[in-house]
Structure 1
Amino acid sequence: MDWISPRALTRLGMLNMNRRNVDYISRYNDRTSYPLVDNKLKTKLVVAEYGVKTPKLLQVVRQQHEIPHFREMAEDLTGFAIKPAKGSGGKGITVITGRDGDEFIKASGARVPAAYLERHLSNILAGLYSLAGTPDVAIVENLVESVPGLAKYSHQGVPDIRIIIFQGYPVMAMLRLATTASDGKANLHQGAVGVGLDIGTGKSLNSVQFNRPITLHPDTGLALENIDIADWEEMLTMASRCYEATGLGYMGVDLVVDINEGPLLLELNARPGLAIQMANGRGLVPRLRAIEGLKRHHFTPEQRARFAMDAFSSQQ
């Protein structure tokens, strides 16, 4: 995207990082709630109480002496994901998609022995991937298998959907698609594709990679203009429930659509990035102000999702 002056960005309603930090994160996010979203294990436990499904938990490894039990647990598994509980930006996540004899097959196609995965677990416990380098916990989850309608757009990685929730209302959303550049991860800073989604319908709006407009996925070659997310209202409602679960007024909710389980929560983010605005081709500020200007907030997640679909639809 060509350079745009700060004044022009303001006119477009673009939220910048300083304003996000001061006016929204600091103002609406109680720091006592951060441990709930900065720890994937705590997130899984707290959202379950509010009817939000997450990938099935297979094992929790807290101490080095528990690592040998991983090999026993994984004996009959063909696919799973190993994650650091306090990791960020996808760091330290290893996805296994199959088995070949005694070797495990990673999402990239590389084959690794069980000893490789055990060393990875040891590194996680040592805090190699944690937010502050402090000792961590490793969790092993069921492998997420994306529905074919979305999986075909992504390259060597599960596509996910980021929804910004403000005071319990979904205000903006995008689909994130892995690429060769992003090494199979749905991380826009590493080169994943961001596809803006119409809050009213779940249909694609604009697409960007490295903040530049694109129309085709760089690896799959598929057009990105006619993507339509099924069960959209259910996903918005699910994301809205995370407000009650955490009390955070401004956060990113990352969802996936599993072929067997349907919509699942991957993780929450108390400091969501701002590239979602580029993917949508519009700024967050007008929508945030609209919520702040409500005289009376809607009580249930269902009501908040429906309000957002009506108020922030691209058809408006």
Structure 2
Amino acid sequence: MTDSRLAAALDDVLERFLVVYPIVGLILALFLAGALVQRQVPNLAAAFEPYRLFFQIAIAGLAVAFFRNTIGARSYGLFAPASIAFVLVLAGPSWGVLVFLNVFIISLATAFVVSPLRLGSAPRLATQLVVIGFSLALFRVLSALPELNPYFSATSVFFPTIITVWFADRFARDVDERGWPIPSLRLAWTLGAIFLAYLVMSSEALVSYLMTTPTAWSVLVGVNILVGYYSRFRLTEYVRFGDHFGGALAGLIARGTTLKDRVLGDERPVEYHGVDEVLSMNERNRYIARYNPPAVAGQVEKATIKQRLHRLGIPAPETYAVAARVSDLQALSEEMDARDEFVLKPGDASGGEGIVVVSGRNDDGTFDTSMGALSQSDLSAHAHRIVQGQYTGLELRDSAILEERIVPAPFFETLCGGGVPDVRVIVFRGIPVMSMTRLPTRESDGAANLHKGAVGVGLSIADGRSIHAFQQSRNRALDAHPDTGADISDVTIPNWNAVLVTAAEAATVSNLGYCGVDITLDESGEPVVFEVNVRPGLGIQNATQSGLKGRLRALEQLPSSYDFLDVRRAVALARTWDRAGWPADLESVVTVDEVAGVAREAEVNVDA
């Protein structure tokens, strides 16, 4: 082992020690406190009975965390299911479900009724809370009846009611943006989480054990931490990435060969990626926590990144106006009125939500947009909703960005026929590591988001050639675009080296160690940066039929001297390593002393 790698290994051990030591101290302190309480308090059950709720919430939180982090349930929030389950515990499952459905359905109906007005988050949620407040008051009056009175009180459902209103509002917004299928699945997961939380909260034996055994509190905390830290693959991910393992069951049992090969002892089993090669959601989140610390990630807003890109001369759509406050909307509206083509989008949304692409004006004066014909007032109202936090969850403010509409290169037009196609490049430690082009479809309404129905075509980092095409929304491999019928099995992105260099430059500007850079080619074939993503999705692994984790591990082993390479050398290395298949020891392919030569060789044919 070289001195640099030995030093890196020692630093890693020290870092782990500094993380583990406080956690062990916390668990030990909690254990000692529990032991002291267990020794000093004579009747623990009676002492803690008034505070039973806290113990119920504790075990419900653990159960829902396990459901989400280990099973892979995509529920609406962690605390929402536990809070809603509290009503079921107090009122019993029948009346609890009635109260929950009453709040959820009325709130959802209110959200759909006011939906055409496109209110911002604050007035929209306030309207729903007012309607729900009156409805529950009426329900409370009815509870004066003898058969209802024992099951319902206003104080017991106050907080769960607020959570349910938020839950219903989030579901309504998802339906508005994505249609019914995906939000309905998430709703089903959330109902499952609520039921699981109810089961553990209503377990008399479990709750009583925690109340009378304070030394077990430390065990509960330790289990929670272990579930969060050591869970690698969620069970649902064995299905999502099953093609990498030769099937989901093979991923669980056979660890990278098909189950048939393992059982029959085939001497030449089919080569599949092991689970150690594919990056899971839990592991991705750890990479993000380590390489995109909050102090850095918090600064990666669309408007801020665009300012940096423009100042450094990195190609990005021209920004016409930014409205960070309601008082800025008049200037933004005037700027819209002066233009025929532009893009209006939120500054802090994700997944393509809230983006309106305006491609021209119609004869009647309305704008031709990705959301159909819209008037000037419609677009101004949309900008107003963005500023009020329509697309930022619980945040009640955002910025509306008005920017240049980039017309994609004719190359993309022949593939997908329209929309806003792009190239997603994953950049780690300043080095491009994986890429795909995202082609819009009618199903995705012209957006390049995989979860909306766009097709991901995996690309070789070495030369920009297509590897494999996959449509995530339908879980199917494709050889042709579903709308245009164009062949997408043999595609090569033009000006490929410039695309990678631009991606590396944008990642460097963002200060993120791990990110996804979205780029398109304009009409002249030059790369233009759309945005830099702090938390890029994992669907790129299905598009490329390659695991991302093995590449990240290999790059992590490189000494810190590689962090000081200029972007052209970093790109040249990435292309060389890709041709070599990304071996675990990358320096066995190209050493630090050979980096300059590799870069010069790549620059001889920069468009290769």
**Residue type matched to 1:206 in 2?**
H
Q: Is the 8 A contact 1:155 1:180 kept in 2?
A: no
- State the Cα deviation string for residues 73-112 of structure 1 (Å, max 9, x = none): 233422100011111111110010011242100136x211
Q: Whole-Å Cα distance in 2 between the matches of residues 243 and 115 of structure 1?
A: 37
Match of 2:492 among 228, 239, 244: 228
SS at match of 1:207: strand
SS at match of 1:290: helix
1:255 is aligned to 2:523: no
Q: Whole-Å Cα distance in 2 between the matches of residues 261 and 92 of structure 1?
A: 27
In the alignment, what sits opposite 2:532?
268
Q: Whole-Å Cα distance in 2 between the matches of residues 251 and 107 of structure 1?
A: 27
Against the structure 1 CA distance between its residues 241 and 131, is the aligned structure 2 distance closer, same or farther, given a 3 Å change threshold? farther
Query: Aligned runs of 1:279-290 on 2, under 5 Å?
Result: 279-290=543-554
1:301 is aligned to 2:564: no
Larger Rg: 2
Unmatched 5+ stretches in structure 2: 1-241, 257-272, 583-608
Unmatched 5+ stretches in structure 1: none
Deviating more after overlay: 154-163 vs 219-228? 154-163
1:51 is aligned to 2:313: yes
Match of 1:219 among 468, 475, 483: 483
In the alignment, what sits opposite 1:310?
576
| Pairwise CA distance, 1:304 | 0.4
Query: Aligned runs of 1:29-40 on 2, under 5 Å?
Result: 29-37=292-300, 39-40=301-302
Q: Whole-Å Cα distance in 2 between the matches of residues 235 and 305 of structure 1?
A: 10
1:208 is aligned to 2:470: yes
Match of 1:83 among 342, 345, 351: 345
Q: Whole-Å Cα distance in 2 between the matches of residues 223 and 12 of structure 1?
A: 33
In the alignment, what sits opposite 2:454?
192
Against the structure 1 CA distance between its residues 116 and 248, is the aligned structure 2 distance closer, same or farther, given a 3 Å change threshold? same
In the alignment, what sits opposite 2:367?
104
Against the structure 1 CA distance between its residues 147 and 261, is the aligned structure 2 distance closer, same or farther, given a 3 Å change threshold? closer
Deviating more after overlay: 288-297 vs 142-151? 288-297
1:121 is aligned to 2:383: yes
Against the structure 1 CA distance between its residues 107 and 171, is the aligned structure 2 distance closer, same or farther, given a 3 Å change threshold? same
- State the Cα deviation string for residues 111-141 of structure 1 (Å, max 9, x = none): 1111110110110010001254331111101
Structure 1 or 2: more strand by fraction: 1
**Residue type matched to 2:574 in 1?**
A
In percent, how many aligned pairs have the same letter? 35
In the alignment, what sits opposite 1:144?
406
- State the Cα deviation string for residues 249-268 of structure 1 (Å, max 9, x = none): 11111111111582111111
Q: Whole-Å Cα distance in 2 between the matches of residues 243 and 231 of structure 1?
A: 19
Q: Is the 8 A contact 2:370 2:445 kept in 1?
A: no
Q: Is the 8 A contact 2:337 2:376 kept in 1?
A: no
| Pairwise CA distance, 1:314 | 7.4
Q: Whole-Å Cα distance in 1 between the matches of residues 422 and 355 of structure 2?
A: 15
Q: Relative contact order (C-alpha < 8 Å, sep 6+): which is higher?
A: 1
- State the Cα deviation string for residues 14-38 of structure 1 (Å, max 9, x = none): 111111112x11121121111332x
Deviating more after overlay: 46-55 vs 122-131? 46-55
Structure 1 or 2: more helix by fraction: 2
Q: Is the 8 A contact 1:195 1:224 kept in 2?
A: yes
- TM-score normalised by structure 2 residue count: 0.49
Against the structure 1 CA distance between its residues 59 and 260, is the aligned structure 2 distance closer, same or farther, given a 3 Å change threshold? farther
**Residue type matched to 1:167 in 2?**
R
Match of 1:292 among 538, 548, 556: 556
| Pairwise CA distance, 1:65 | 3.5
Against the structure 1 CA distance between its residues 242 and 72, is the aligned structure 2 distance closer, same or farther, given a 3 Å change threshold? closer
Query: Aligned runs of 1:56-71 on 2, under 5 Å?
Result: 56-71=318-333
Against the structure 1 CA distance between its residues 280 and 12, is the aligned structure 2 distance closer, same or farther, given a 3 Å change threshold? farther
| Pairwise CA distance, 1:301 | 0.7
In the alignment, what sits opposite 1:240?
504
Aligned residues: 313
1:74 is aligned to 2:336: yes
**Residue type matched to 2:430 in 1?**
G
| Pairwise CA distance, 1:235 | 1.2
Q: Is the 8 A contact 2:433 2:551 kept in 1?
A: yes
Against the structure 1 CA distance between its residues 307 and 222, is the aligned structure 2 distance closer, same or farther, given a 3 Å change threshold? same
**Residue type matched to 1:106 in 2?**
T
- State the Cα deviation string for residues 251-286 of structure 1 (Å, max 9, x = none): 111111111582111111111111101100111122
Q: Is the 8 A contact 1:199 1:314 kept in 2?
A: no
Q: Whole-Å Cα distance in 1 between the matches of residues 354 and 530 of structure 2?
A: 15
Q: Whole-Å Cα distance in 2 between the matches of residues 69 and 50 of structure 1?
A: 26
Q: Compute the RMSD of aligned alpha carbons.
A: 2.0
Q: Is the 8 A contact 2:507 2:517 kept in 1?
A: no
